[in-house]
Structure 1
Amino acid sequence: MKIEDWFQTLRTKAQTIEERWQEASEQERLQLADQLFYLRQVSDTVVDLWLQFEEKLSNAIRHIKQMEGQLPTETQEEKAKPVSLKKEPLATDHKQDGQKGTASESKSEPKFEAKADKLPQAMHAYEPVFRRGEGFYHLRMFQDAKKCFAELVKEAPDWESGRLYYAYSLLFCDDKEMAFREFRLLGKSASSPAIVAISSNAIGCILAEEKQWLEAVQAFKTSLEVKPEQEEAKYNLALCYLMDGDAQEALDEIECYLQKHEQDWEAQLLWLRAAKLLMQMDETAELVAPSSLTLPNRELDNETLQEMAHLYEAVGNYHRAQVCYHFLTERLPKEGWTWHGLAWNTWLIAGSKRALTLVKKAISLAPEQDDFVFSYGWMQLFDGNIPGAIAAFRGILAKNSENRLGQSGMISAFEKVGETLEAKRLAKLFLDDADPYIRSLGYFHLGRLAMVEENWRLAEQYFQRTLPHADQFREIPLYLQLCASKLGAEAVQNELVQP
């Protein structure tokens, strides 16, 4: 028998039972109910077998594409990259006051209530099991909840909210494979749009945690198609776009989400990460932070404040970065890095008058940190205090003559005072370094020195060599444009003087 014919037979049986039900006697209805239960078991088995086949097929296709070079293999760094998804557990808010929850705990779906007067008569006997499982679930006793809901699903397989609780219990007991099957079953067969949307969101989370970004995106889109106001799916969709490297799509989605969730700091972090990625991909990108991107607040933990500060710096929002470091210096007054971060952003905003005092504080707390001393010298250099800057850079080199920070500072100082030969000598030392970034830094310095000498062709060649690390040197596009304009003007001038 063809598989199409077999499914047609099953559909015919279900239709026959439906047609006979109204006129059937009590005894006949019991027999028909047994047949329905059997068809449900067949359906569950078919769905399970199909999901196993689909999973195996997807894995085979992905692995073959990787072997053929059509898909990149995952690096260890990518495997370790955390994904903060909103899984939307059904539990009510279980966190104590002041306790920080994880991303997966940050949203809670209202409980599904199975009132006796709305349940089919056959299900009334199992309501105590449901209530007991619900109680275990809200107490986060997921193993006990799983046992209760497994019993409920076995005896009342069409109780959709019970099956949803069962799926989440499986998920939080780390039985992802079984949870996935239950969510897929609900996504395909549930009559409640809310349950379909929640199940699709949960499917997306499971797929995303397996780095299957495209499939996860489709699951979150399905959730939003069924229930457009499903806020968790909007956030998760933005996160998947970001993790898949689609910065612009991530920004579009998270900006929409932030319109309703102005105080969601996780969403603010996501916007900042996406903005940073977009700027790395496109130096000409123009970014306008959404008005709902609120200032950092003291309630955030230290790690979050530090990451937000770094991301604000990356997108050029130094005032907000300054606020983050201000909070961090209040909490960690003996940590030099907090004062250094505050000093650097203060300097970028208002100059060195206040910033020099702050960076001195950082140096006093961590005198072994050469980058703090470098920042002090760099501020002096741009203030025109060349002797003070050189003294700072030489202090670094006195401890280690090959320190690249100290050498880089000296190159810039020599450039300022017109000692280009000595600056070139130091910059060429960078070209023999094993680190590609250090080599690019050497080419960057040599390009700037060639510009000082108005050797535009040579400068252009040096700047071209820095392009593999252009995201570290924001001035490169501007310098290349300047070189091109200068070289173009020279070409025109040469044409004009031709006889």
Structure 2
Amino acid sequence: MKIEDWFQTLRSKAETIEEKWSDASEQERLQFADQLFYLRQVSDTVVDLWLQFEERLSNAIRKIKQMEGQLPAEDNHTQVAVANEASNKNTLKKEPGSAMQKSGNESVSPSKDTNPYEPMFRRGEGFYHLRMFQDAKKCFEELIQLSPDWESGRLYYAYSLLFCEEQEHAFREFRLLSRSASSPTVVSSSFNAMGCILAEEKHWLEAVQAFKSSLEVKSEQEEARYNLALCYLKDGDAQEAMDEIEKYLQKDEDDWEAQMLWLRAAQLLQTMDESTELSPPASLQLPTRDLDNDTLQEMASLYESVGNYHRAQICYHFLTERLPREGWTWHGLAWNTWLIAGTKRALTLLKKAISLAPLHDDFTFSYGWMLLFDGKVDEAMGTFRHMLEKDKDNRLGQSGMISAYEKIGELQAAKRLAKEFTEDQEPYVRSLGYFHLGRLAVVEENWRIAEQYFQRTLPHANQFREVPIYMQLCASKLGERVSITELLQP
């Protein structure tokens, strides 16, 4: 039997026990418990055997390289090749990743031909790569007591502390390394880790300085550059974030996390100043099938925010190819198709989205909205009423009815519904109510009242893109002057 098949058998046993447990009798549960205990013993044995194998394999490779002259005879076991823990678009890159793979010729380790503590190092390293951080911490803690100058061992110890959520202790170890280590890579990685700890506590200025120090020691520490950009963005410095992430993308243009960070910075800049002209990096200038799903979704959102519906449509087209059973991909494609080509082509796509997610109110609301703006008011109102029959307090359905009442001139009915929004506990819903009342006041040409309603939506003005335009209209009708930039200022 192949080892993959053997592990699959073990996984299947665990899954079967989990599935059958709730309906099992007391006797069956006792048998399942015995089986789980046996599987735990197997797991522990496998881990121990793997660690022994890893230690033997590492020793063999090192000695052969020494015999072939590829490594200095004294010692090169300080190479640290740790996996990057960052796995999503909002995560700091804590570990040194590829930069540390080159640390072997830099890090300081005991300079004996045969190091008596190497088995301990390899065991701790094995635990670390298996993400058994508590065991790794104990192993490296013992190691640095016996060999305190072993920099990569102390670095592993600091990271083990970090992933055991002992941030304060980890920070002290990283700070010690940043001040005393002779290896530029170890120093740079320590500053990067310190920056991550500070950023997670929202100490943005201190975190920025730590990431900058990491780059000053070793400019090719790309993880620190990414983290610096993310830190700037979290602190609202969109331009600085964009400048740093563009440098990062020059080295790794296909990093999807970095691509999304650039897109977020671009969105923030657009929110701050709609006149900002952005030139995306080469890898983001046109959506392609090579991009991953998260980046395509982020790009679509950015393109929609700046009114580039054709490119947003392309993104959603690629997403529907990859995720044909996800209703949101069809909804995005339908919405942008509607903005480009109108209702006829969009409704078919939207029906697909609704069929995949019939309980998704957003999709049903979009269907009614398209009908409403295509002049099919009765059908639109039927759609909104259907939503309200299932939930009379459904704000989407009520919002659709307000617009429908406005279309047919029943302004008092529209106002009654809109005023209910202004009593809601949710701030956004209250702003939506004032937005509706402002538009209704515009229809009645009550410019001062409209202006007052729109003023009350400003805390959420970025979600009501028409508000600045309405405000300018009111100011014009009242003989006043106001710029969109002034309206967007807090």
TM-score (norm 1): 0.67
Q: Which residue of 2 aligns with 1:35?
A: none
State the match for 2:246 in structure 1.
255
TM-fit CA distance, 1:476:
0.9
1:135-192 Cα offsets, whole Å, 9 max, x none, are 7526715566556654553454344344334433443454433332222112112233
SS at match of 1:251: helix
Amino acid of the structure 2 residue aligned with 1:394:
R
- Following the alignment from structure 2 to structure 1, what is the Cα–Cα distance between the partners of residues 191 and 428? 43
Matched, 1:219 2:207: no
Q: Which residue of 2 aligns with 1:441?
A: 432
Distance in 1 (CA, whole Å) between partners of 2:337 and 2:344 is 9
What is the aligned counterpart of 1:291 among 270, 273, 281?
Answer: 281
Matched, 1:129 2:117: yes
Q: Which runs of 5+ in 1 are unaligned?
A: 1-88, 96-100, 491-499
Alignment-derived partner of residue 476 in structure 2: 485
Please point out which of 340, 348, 359 is paired with 1:368.
359
Matches within 5 A, 1:347-362: 347-362=338-353
Letter of the 1:333 partner, please give it.
Answer: P
Which residue of 124, 129, 132 corresponds with 1:140? 129
- The equivalent of 1:207 in structure 2 is 198
Structure 1: how far apart are the matches of 2:84 and 2:360? 43
CA pair 471-401 structure 1, distance change in 2 beyond 3 A: same
- Alpha carbons 2:421, 2:432 under 8 Å: kept: yes
2:254 aligned counterpart, secondary structure = coil
**Cα deviation, residue 340, structure 1:** 1.8
Structure 1 partner of 2:158: 167
Matches within 5 A, 1:193-342: 193-280=184-271, 282=272, 284=274, 286=276, 288-294=278-284, 295=287, 297=289, 300=292, 309-310=300-301, 313-314=304-305, 316=307, 318-319=309-310, 321-342=312-333
In terms of mean alpha carbon deviation, does 459-468 or 425-434 score higher?
425-434
CA distance in 2, matches of 1:317, 1:107: 37
Quote the Cα distance in structure 2 between the aligned partners of 1:266 and 1:485.
45
Q: Assess, with a 3 A threshold, how the Cα gap between structure 1 residues 403 and 331 changes in structure 2: closer, same or farther.
A: same
In 2, Cα distance between equivalents of 1:436 and 1:174: 36
Deviation of 1:354 (Å): 2.3
What's the counterpart of residue 389 of structure 1?
Answer: 380
Give the match for residue 465 of structure 2.
474
Deviation at 1:482, TM superposition (A): 2.0
Name stretches of at least 5 consecutive residues in structure 2 with no aligned partner.
Answer: 1-78, 86-90, 482-490
Partner Cα separation in structure 2 for residue 232 and residue 287 of structure 1: 28
Report 1 or 2 for greater relative contact order, CA contacts < 8 Å, sequence distance ≥ 6: 2
Aligned partners of 1:258, 1:349: CA distance in 2, in Å?
32
The match for 2:56 is none
Find the partner of 2:81 among 65, 77, 91: 91
Corresponding residue for residue 5 of structure 1: none
**Identity across the alignment (%):** 66
- Aligned position for 1:426: 417
Amino acid at match of 2:395: R
Task: Please give the alpha-carbon distance, in whole angstroms, between the structure 2 residues aligned to 1:409 and 1:450.
Answer: 18
| 2:368 alignment partner, one of 373, 377, 395 | 377
Cα displacement string for residues 257-311 of structure 1 (whole angstroms, at most 9, x for unaligned residues): 223221111112222333344445x25462515223533657746x776566556
Q: In structure 1, how many angstroms separate the alpha carbons of the residues matched to 2:299 and 2:447?
A: 39
Deviations 1:432-462 (A, max 9, x none): 3343322322221222222233332222112
- Alpha-carbon distance in structure 2 between the residues aligned to 1:145 and 1:400: 54
Q: Match of 2:129, as an amino acid?
A: R
TM-score, L = length of structure 2: 0.68
Structure 2 Cα separation of the partners of residues 309 and 390 of structure 1: 30
CA contact (8 A) 1:90 1:108 kept: no
| Alignment partner of 1:456 is 2:456 | no
Distance 1:143 1:359, change over 3 A: same
C-alpha contact (below 8 Å) 1:133/1:144 kept by paired residues: no
Relative to structure 2, which stretch is displaced further, 122-131 or 340-349?
122-131
SS of the equivalent of 1:108 reads helix
Instruction: Give the C-alpha shift of residue 357 in structure 1.
Output: 0.4
What CA distance in whole angstroms lies between the structure 1 residues aligned with 2:421 and 2:307?
Answer: 28
In structure 2, relative to structure 1, the CA distance for the partners of 1:104 and 1:300 (3 Å cut) is farther
CA contact (8 A) 1:326 1:342 kept: yes
Shift of 1:124: 0.7
Counterpart contact for 2:161–2:170, Cα < 8 Å: yes
| Partner Cα distance (1:168, 1:432) in 2 | 50
8 Å contact 2:94–2:192 — kept in the other structure?
no
Letter in 1 for 2:280: P
Letter of the 1:123 counterpart: S
CA distance in 1, matches of 2:303, 2:80: 34
One-letter amino acid of the structure 2 residue matched with residue 124 of structure 1: K
Q: Determine if contact 2:343/2:370 at 8 Å carries over to the other structure.
A: yes
Alpha-carbon contact 1:130-1:148 (below 8 Å) kept: no
Offset of residue 483 of structure 1: 1.5
The one-letter amino acid of 1:471's match is: N
- Alpha-carbon distance in 2 for matches of 1:126, 1:145: 22
Matched residue, 1:191: 182
Amino acid at match of 1:404: R
Q: How does 1:7-18 map to 2 (within 5 A)?
A: none
> How many residues are matched?
392
Q: In the alignment, which residue of structure 2 is the partner of 1:408?
A: 399
> Deviations 1:318-339 (Å, cap 9, x if unpaired)?
4554455445434543443332
Counterpart of 1:288, as a letter, is L
Deviations 1:68-102 (A, max 9, x none): xxxxxxxxxxxxxxxxxxxxx9426699xxxxx99
